[in-house]
Structure 1
Amino acid sequence: MSAKTMNEKRVNGDDNVDESNSFDLLKACSNISSRFSHAIDRLFYRLGYTVASHPLKTIIFSFLITLICSLGYFKFYSEKNPLKLWIPPESKFLRDTEWLMKSMEEGFRLQSVLITAPDVLQPHVLKKLSQISTEIVNFNVYLDNGTSIGWNDVCFHIPNIAEFTENQRRKRSIFESNEVLLNIEKPLHRFTRSERPWNPSVDLNSFIFCSIVDSLPIGCMIQNFLEMWNFTESTIDNLTKQDILNALHTTNTSLTTGHEANFERLLGDVTRNETGHIVAAKGLLTHFMVYVNFLKSNSEKVGNLAGTEDWASEEALLWENEFLRKMHTLKENLSDNETNIYYSAGRSYGDISSATMFQDINKIMFGSALMFIFMILVLSKFGWIELRILLCSMGLMSVGMAFVSAIGLCSFLGISYGPVHTSLPFLLMGLGIDDMFVMMASWKKVQREHRLPRDPSTLPERMGMMLQMAGSSITITSFTDVVAFVIGSITILPSLESFCLYAGVGVVFIFIYVNTFVVAIFTIDEYRIQANRNAFAPCIAHKSNRLWCDAHLMDRLVSFVYTKFIMTKPGKVIVLMTALAVTSYSFTGLLRLEQKFDPNWFIPERTYLSKFTTVKKGLFPDQGYEAAILMGRLNYTAELNHIAALIETIENRTDLVHEISSWVSPFHDFVQVYYDTDFFTTTLSDYDFRFYLSKFLHTHRGGKYRANFRFKTKLECGEPVPEITVSTIDFKYKRFKSRSNYLSAMHAIENIVENAQLKSGDGFATVWGRVYGNWVTDEVIDTEVSRNIMLALACVMFCTTILILNPNVCFWIFMCVVLTLINVCGMMEVWGLTIDLVSCIGLELERAMKTVSHIVPAVLYGGFSTLLAVSMLADSEAYTFQAFFKIFLLVIIFGLFFGLVFLPVILSNEYEITPTNGSRKRRNNRRNESNVNVDDKEMISFIQMNGNGNIEKL
């Protein structure tokens, strides 16, 4: 027929041409789908028949597979390094961190004590601080070999120049000067040689000066308010309120170490008088620094299973553990109605987050026990014979076999195990049990519809029919799950990649064992039932199979709900209006859903660390996130101007930066005052720069900046500094509230450093902060979630198209999945969840395609059993389990609603289904919809039309 003729027919209102072509295309697609479906059915029938004919051989074969896979445990490796778990391997932060650890070699871990009171600047509060400090620096930890370690063995060491400073102050009389060593910030004028402050590093003979410096003791790095009195108990015991204020306002040097110190920074929520001086404060911080050698820190020995432990030595962790025990005792003894004590150690976050992540495993075990009981209630008929004790217990064993096999195979392939993998058994359990429900529903249908004799001779054939009916549903679910996890493994987050690979392999093994091992157990259990043998004691044979109660209550309940409510005209209107209203509300929540993660979410509120963190934030609201500018082997004499300009630019970003501590300005003032040289206008020679820097770092003010440098060789007094390998400039961000704020701040500072044009030497300059580890993950997690969801949706559409080949049905299945996702994500925001790594994994576990199971009771059982297990996590203190519970609950509710209620209603408006002959008619709009004769088991099935118009199940 020509195009002209076709157009004429359309003008005349004849659309039969289009309908005929559409019908031919639909008929061809349906034929392809029918053949594909029949091929799958034949395959599963043969599998079921073979397994049922040789159940013992199949069980032995399944055990052999598990045993062979378990050999991979010899290569099992649990990753504990946080950098290899939570940080994208190609990220700038990871490269900078590895460079920092290699170049800096050492650092420190903070142990903090926070005392709160209406006014901590009171003598009785300082007495308590003195008692705490004495206890901390004096206790010892005894090792297994009989040796002991104390504070001096684990602390971060610095030279104590306090004694030297006091001696030099007394020697000032020799030079007939009444001035004290001044704390030079920015000289207001150029000093003459007779006016400038006397400095022993410059004015003493190098031999004399260095001999004194080299003989000085090495002390421990601390930040303690009592340094103003050198921890002298007799002095502290006799302090008055005015003595404390006088010392605070006049002391800028630690009498313990001799280094410059700012004691005001240790005070929180301060009160100032009209002159700006502090007269009261509500919080008093104390820090003890424990030494860390990055190159010798082994995460395999000191890490935890959660991958949240920082770098540390084994000795440091032992000391920190005793520190926590000691602080717990001190808190109990020293706290009163007015004074409270809070504390944290370097190991606190790792310990608590790890314990919290795994402490509720017992709840999961209890939930699994409830699930087992529920399985027996669902799969059994209530009598001594048809209780499915063997089938349920062995079904759970198949989950364990799949878990063992997946771990063994993945370990053999070199895939590391991670902390989030603890949810894997739960995922596999849900899959395996749901598949068993589908099998049992199919078995009941076979028993009801096929008139085969119920004797052992026909059992293999009946098992083949059962697996033929259930196999397609199990295949769809397993295939889409595997593809979804394979897609999820294409991620830049190592822990998520590993989890998805383990999960995908686990799903494959669940599919294998359910269709072999479980079917074999099913067969043996059915042999027992046909022989009327007791479920608990098979040696006992009963004369008759008497049931205790009706076994078809759920079937009749489902039929009643669908025929009397859901499939009536008012019921359909209510379903559609409910779907519209709930989705609209969820969509508004989806628009507000944030991408945000706070590491403190892993810390339960009742823990000492959570209390410390909360109180500290309240007392020190301006103290944000610590970071540093890192510079490598630059030509510092040529780059000093650029570095100074960089610092000035960052200082001016008061919207981002709370404070900055730079060695450049104090060093510039030192050189200008003592060597009459302004290196901002005059370029220093390399020797002069290194010589002046050595002098500066040996002064009481410059000494604190030694921690900002690493040299190629050891720094020697009286000698120019060796080649600088690393220099740092510390600063603190402001405290940000949202992801957009801290990510924009991070990128802004990175751009400032990049534009500083520090290109000499190795040209390495970057900005780094420990908090960046969370920020860079936050930056990519939303992209990862969006990409994985889009790919998963494409996978769902592809699979349903291949298996159904009906455009209308495929479209509505796809829409149900989309609507489920919209509602889950929208309600996540309403429930206080955000997009983070935990929710990302939770969404990976979402199996929205589970709603395509073809028998309503089986789907309801599967959803309820999953809900029963996760209900044990409702009151968990672990953020991981809380998030998993909320997401699973949302997935179950919306998945069941859209799959088992909304979709049948939609399809019932497309097709009229008559269970007698299966004929299909397009619904007439004028038909009275109030009386729809629909078989509930047919209507709740996903349907497809073949060329003859027959209705077939997936």
Structure 2
Amino acid sequence: MSAKAANEKNITIENDDDTDKSQKSDSIGLLKTCSNISSKFSHGIDRMFYRLGYTVATHPVKTILLSFLLTLICSSGYFKFHSEKNPLKLWIPPESKFLRDTEWLMKSFEEGFRLQSVLITAPDVLQPHVLKKLLEISKEVMNFNANLENGTSIGWNDVCFHIPNIADFNENDQKRRRKRSTRDSNLILSSFAQQLHRMTRSERPFDPSVDLAPIIFCSIVESLPIGCMLQNFLEMWNFTDVNHMTKQDILNALHTTSTSQTTGHEANFERLLGGVTRNETGHIVAATGLMTNWMVYVNFLKVNHDKVGNSAGTEDWASEEALAWEQEFLNTMKIMKEDLEDDETKIYYSAGRSYGDISSATMFQDMNKIVFGSAMMFMFMIMVLSKFGWVELRVLLCSMGLMSVGMAFASAIGLCSYLGISYGPVHTSLPFLLMGLGIDDMFVIMACWQKVQREHISPRDPSTLPERIGMMLQMAGSSITITSFTDVVAFVIGSITILPSLESFCLYAGMGVVLIFIYVNTFVVAIFVIDEKRILGNRNAFAPCITHKSNTLWCDAHLMDRIVKYMYTNFIMTKSGKIIVLMTTVAVTSYSFTGLLRLEQKFDPNWFIPQRTYLSKFTAVKNDLFPDQGYEAMILMGSLNYTEELNHIANMVETIENRTDLVHEITSWVNPFHQFVQTYYEVDFFNQTMSDYDFRFYLSKFLHTRKGGKYRANFRFKSLLVCGEPVPEITVSTINFSYKRFDGRNNYLPAMHAIEKIVEEAELHSGDAFATVWGRIYGNWVTDEVIDEEVSRNIMLALGCVMFCTTILILNPNICFWIFMCVVLTLINVCGLMEAWGLTIDLVSCIGLELAVGLCVDYAAHIGHTFLVTGPGTKHERALHTVTHIVPAVFYGGLSTLLAVSMLANSEAYTFQAFFKIFLLVIIFGLFFGLIFLPVILSFFGPAEFHSHSANEYQATPTNDNDRRKRRLNHPDGSNNREMVSFIQPNENVDVDEKTQKDIAQ
């Protein structure tokens, strides 16, 4: 190599070195800038909290009164309080297609029915003694009366879904009517002459709707009695006595009867049988289940959910009359079940209101646990915050601390109500959550107070109490601010959701955390000042009027501190201990990650029903005996030009019928109507053009026939349907079908979209061009479809925003990164073990996981912030000092949250069970990664301390009793006018008597 080339190479290397040094210098400069900004920001927060603590300690009574006044002002919002009970406004995304379709259906269809069911099981229900029990039940149900609040008595005929009874429309009835009306005799004879003429030309069956003169037929129809819609096996015999029948009589009637002898409409009685046994010819010879259904009328436009809804938001559409009758139905069936059941015959039942009643009762029956939980929390706080003696039991502080949680909860409800945010059913868990978060802050404040007491030269001097309170809040303020602020941010992000109940819950929770933060730093601190004055006066904790001569303790008050110091010093923070911690982290997280990959999105409404309830038993038996009967749905069509669209509708129905992998059965009026028109009017409208008048005329005739009458429920007209006249303009028509039973979202969501695509491709473009698929179950399915995206998106947003806020408050990239890692690792492990515990991603777990982001960041943030302000010393020494100072308080905080939610452990409500499991996992892993993993990591990779140990900073310095230095404390007004002797070695318990304190002070 030439000298010139070597020289150029050396110059290049030097330039590269200069570049690396420059980049390194820039990085160091950036970190130093962040450190300086963080230091100034921290000093600013410290000064603010010192002044707040000093002011509160100087005026504790005024602070308490102002806190009560704030609660009173916030509670004025209760005048606008609204508890949302409409399920559409709680659980359904407001922009969803299902919600729009439902609102259109309620407005256009106007009326429907609610199902009341009884299921009888026996080795063979096709036996006379079983039908006799069904007869007793049927008569009792159709004869009892229910009382309304206004004293009105209503029966089955008052609430049932009415249909015309055409069973009496036969030849005998015609003869009876001819005798009754001689003036119509010529018309009747003429009618039968026409009938005879037609029968000679054709072999088609006689149909009075077509073959009788309209004036005769319609007079008969208009005089027909109005009956009730039901599905009952005894309709084959019109509820006559069945004692004289044999098993063969029952089978013969089943195989030959296709018309209800009660209503006269066509009926498929085989559909009411479950667990059937067929012979070689395919005929049913036995069955183990017999279903009976009563239909209760509902006018959708008159439903008021504020009156008839329940607090859980699970009550379906119903009137007050329907709910009253259904309640009496349940009472009656409970008695009938006890009277008629035997060793072989079992009776199960369900009402339209059953799901709403049981889910609501299950969710709110655990509210009494708040009282029991508060009592347990009070005892726990006494154990943690007190020194066990007559003087230093913190009875007042603990009771008022719990009261502050109630004040925050009440204030949050008032403020949110004033802002127009509705209260929802999931909000019942808020007291447990706020209890854990609020008491967590109290433990941190008490840990700082104990440090002030240990390190202050005159801890029993009343004149220094405001300064010591200021120092206490100065030390705790930054940590509490970081955790509270990140919790609020997590909840605000959680409110950015398309699920109304989740949005409302997160807003209430965020407001509650803000108010907890305010009350803890004012009201609780003021109570603490009053309690501390009592202790300084050696007054009894239960009877402050009693003064003790000495403050005698019953047991060691620093046992937990010693245990923590011993565990960390001798095990966790040793070299081998750190290796075990890191290996445990890798192993557990790897296992949880595999569970996370298996975690599925699934929700079943039956999870809200405890297994011991009558509805759960009914559902289980029904699913077993009728395994192919899935969820009911319908195709909705608006004001189409039906003469043009009949072919398209028929093709759509045929396509759906062929999807036997998705659909259990479909009931369409199109093909029966086509057969009727082709038979009686010799018109094939699939291949011939039909005028609008002809269509409406034929449809009117069809709907008044025995076979077509049952399809009246599938139509809504612009005006009343009149016999003998063409039908009015159709506003709504429906085609009913039922899905097969599906296992999970991977089956039912594709099925739903497949049927929607078939309807969309039917090209129904005439009229108002409205055609869609609707089913009540779609409410759950559309929520399931978006919930996994909601969970992923909201957790990612919450993580990003929480870490952004943590960065702003701490301004140290190193600490923020490791806090972020602790949160991520916690979530991975929580989700992984959720799968192992049988939980899935649903609305409830979505709320729990979003709360977990704010909760688990608390533990790591406390440790990270304390490590940052601790110094000087090596990273290992600072990490050890951090855990010995703050770990007991953080551990107590996590334990208090666990204690608060542990009240939900034995709850029968799925919501509370899921919350307990998720919070238990969050607390366990949050404490592990915050209190064990993070200190170990910081002992290796932690940043240097950023404090400059200024005069106004509360900092412990190594000293002994005979060698102390003085320092000046800033008063809230900024003046330096009090000399105080500084501190002893941190965590070193040195008792200084009052005489020594006075000597040192002099």
- TM-score tier, shorter chain, comes to over 0.9
Match of 1:217 in 2: 225
Structure-2 separation of matches of 1:4 and 1:349: 83
Matched residue, 2:540: 534
In structure 2, how many angstroms separate the alpha carbons of the residues matched to 1:165 and 1:589?
68
- How far, CA to CA, are the matches of 2:10 and 2:92 in structure 1? 65
User: Within the alignment, does 1:141 sit opposite 2:131 as a pair?
Assistant: no
Q: Match for 1:899 among 930, 934, 942?
A: 930
Residues 557-706 of structure 1 correspond to what in structure 2 (within 5 A)?
A: 557-706=563-712
Does the 8 A contact of 2:629 with 2:664 survive in 1?
Answer: yes
Which one is further off, 757-766 or 847-856? 847-856
Do residues 889 (structure 1) and 920 (structure 2) align?
A: yes
Note the C-alpha offset of 1:616: 0.2
Counterpart in the other structure of 1:931: none
Judging changes above 3 Å, is the alpha-carbon distance between structure 1 residues 447 and 305 closer, same or farther for their aligned structure 2 residues? same
CA-to-aligned-CA distance 1:99-143 (integer Å, 9 cap, x gap): 111111110000000001111111111111111101100111233
Task: Please give the alpha-carbon distance, in whole angstroms, between the structure 2 residues aligned to 1:358 and 1:677.
Answer: 61
| In 2, Cα distance between equivalents of 1:389 and 1:747 | 61
The question of 1:779 aligning with 2:785 is answered: yes
In structure 1, what is the equivalent of residue 954 of structure 2?
Answer: none
Secondary structure at the aligned position of 2:636 is classed as strand
Q: Are 2:147 and 2:324, in contact at CA under 8 Å, matched by a contact in 1?
A: no
Distance in 1, Cα, partners of 2:9 & 2:97: 64
Residue 427 of structure 1 is aligned with which of 425, 433, 436? 433
- Distance (Å, rounded) in 2 between the aligned partners of 1:71 and 1:912: 48
SS for the counterpart of 1:853 is helix
Distance 1:685 1:12, change over 3 A: closer
Aligned pair partner of 1:853 in 837, 846, 862: 862
How far residue 796 of structure 1 moved from its aligned partner, in angstroms, is: 2.4
Q: Secondary structure at the residue paired with 2:518?
A: helix
Q: Specify the code of the residue in structure 2 equivalent to 1:214.
A: E
Contact 2:638 2:731 in 1 (8 A): yes
Q: Which amino acid aligns with 1:887?
A: I
Q: Which runs of 5+ in 2 are unaligned?
A: 1-7, 179-187, 190-194, 864-885, 950-983, 988-1002
Q: Distance in 1 between matches of 2:595 and 2:9?
A: 52
Show the counterpart of 1:523: 529
Pairwise CA distance, 1:84: 0.7
Task: After TM superposition, give the deviation of residue 804 of structure 1 in Å.
Answer: 2.9
Distance 1:841 1:911 in 2: 33
How far does residue 894 in structure 1 lie from its aligned partner after superposition?
0.3
Corresponding position of 2:168: 163
- Are 2:348 and 1:342 equivalent residues in the alignment? yes
Q: Is the 8 A contact 1:6 1:17 kept in 2?
A: no
Matched, 1:130 2:135: yes
Q: Deviations over 1:550-580 (max 9, x none)?
A: 0000000000111111111221111111111
- Where 2:203 maps in the other structure, the secondary structure is coil
Q: SS where residue 279 of structure 1 aligns?
A: strand
Q: CA 1:575/1:217 → structure 2, altered by over 3 Å: closer, same or farther? A: same
- Write the letter of the residue equivalent to 1:812: W
Letter of the 2:47 partner, please give it.
Answer: R
Q: Give the structure 2 partner of residue 495 of structure 1.
A: 501
Do the aligned partners of 1:532 and 1:544 also contact (CA within 8 Å) in 2? yes
Q: Give the counterpart letter for 1:857 in structure 2.
A: P
8 A Cα contact 1:817 1:849, kept in partner: yes
1:875 aligns to 2:911 (yes or no)? no
Single out whichever of 664-673 and 805-814 deviates more from structure 2.
805-814
Write out aligned runs for 1:19-418 (5 A): 19-165=24-170, 167=172, 193-233=201-241, 236-418=242-424
Please tell me whether the aligned partners of residues 642 and 758 of structure 1 are also in contact (alpha carbons under 8 angstroms): yes
State the Cα deviation string for residues 245-290 of structure 1 (Å, max 9, x = none).
1001000000000000000000111111000101111110000000
Equivalent-residue separation in structure 2 for 1:422 and 1:912 (angstroms): 42
Aligned length: 908
Question: What letter corresponds to residue 298 of structure 1 in structure 2?
Answer: N
Cα distance, 1:10 vs. partner?
Answer: 8.3
Q: CA deviation at 1:748?
A: 1.2
Indicate how the Cα distance of structure 1 residues 537 and 618 shifts in structure 2: closer, same or farther if over 3 A, else same. Answer: same
Deviations 1:623-646 (A, max 9, x none): 011000000111111110111111
Amino acid at match of 2:251: L
For the 8 Å contact 2:433–2:901, the answer to whether it is kept is no
CA contact (8 A) 1:364 1:873 kept: no
Distance 2:121 2:749 in 1: 33
- Secondary structure at 1:521's aligned position in 2? helix
The question of whether the paired residues in 2 share the 8 Å contact of 1:191 and 1:673 is answered with no
Change (3 A) 1:438 1:5: farther
Equivalent pair of 1:563/1:936 in contact (CA under 8 Å): no
Residue pair 2:289, 2:625 contacting (<8 A) in 1 also: yes
- Give 2:448's match in structure 1, choosing from 439, 442, 456: 442
Contact 1:588 1:826 in 2 (8 A): yes
| Residue type of the alignment partner of 1:882 | Q
Whether the 8 Å CA contact 1:46–1:464 is kept in 2: the answer is yes
Q: Is the 8 A contact 1:115 1:340 kept in 2?
A: yes
Partner of 2:715: 709
User: 1:302/1:7 Cα in 2 relative to 1: closer, same or farther (>3 Å)?
Assistant: farther
Query: What is the distance in 2 between the residues matched to 1:366 and 1:7?
Result: 76
> How far did 1:166 drift?
6.0
> How far apart are the structure 2 equivalents of 1:524 and 1:191?
104
Offset at residue 937 of structure 1 (A): 8.9
Displacement of 1:14 after TM fit?
11
The separation in 2 between residues aligned to 1:324 and 1:248, in whole angstroms, is 29
Change (3 A) 1:142 1:171: closer
Equivalent position to 1:794, from 785, 796, 800 = 800
Superposition deviation, residue 20 in structure 1: 3.7
CA distance in 1, matches of 2:627, 2:985: 61
Residue in 1 aligned with 2:869?
Answer: none
Post-superposition offset of 1:914? 11
- 8 Å contact kept, 1:55–1:520: yes
Pairwise CA distance, 1:807: 2.6
* Per-residue deviation, 1:365: 2.4
Give the greater-gyration-radius structure (CA).
2
For 1:374, give the aligned amino acid: F
Find the counterpart in structure 2 of residue 863 from structure 1: 894
Q: Check 1:237–1:52 CA distance in 2 against 1; reply closer, same or farther (3 A cut).
A: same
Q: Does 1:547 align with 2:553?
A: yes
| C-alpha distance in structure 2 between counterparts of 1:917 and 1:508, whole Å | 31
TM-score, normalised via structure 1 length: 0.92
Amino acid at match of 2:936: V
In 2, are the aligned partners of 1:559 and 1:936 still within 8 Å (CA)?
A: no
Q: Say which SS state the counterpart of residue 767 (structure 1) adopts.
A: strand
Greater mean deviation of Cα atoms: 500-509 or 449-458:
449-458
Q: Secondary structure at the match of 1:138?
A: coil
Indicate conservation of the 8 Å contact 1:80/1:303, yes or no. yes
Closer/same/farther in 2, CA of residues 167 and 709 from structure 1, 3 Å limit: farther
Q: State the TM-score, normalized to the length of structure 2.
A: 0.88
RMSD between superposed Cα atoms in Å: 2.5
Which range moved further: 501-510 or 433-442?
Answer: 501-510
Aligned residue number for residue 178 of structure 1: none
Cα drift, residue 917 of structure 1: 12
What's the counterpart of residue 820 of structure 1?
826
Contact kept, 8 Å, 2:370 with 2:431, in 1: the verdict is: no
The separation in 1 between residues aligned to 2:500 and 2:296, in whole angstroms, is 30
Runs of 5+ unmatched residues, structure 1: 176-180, 182-189, 919-934, 939-954
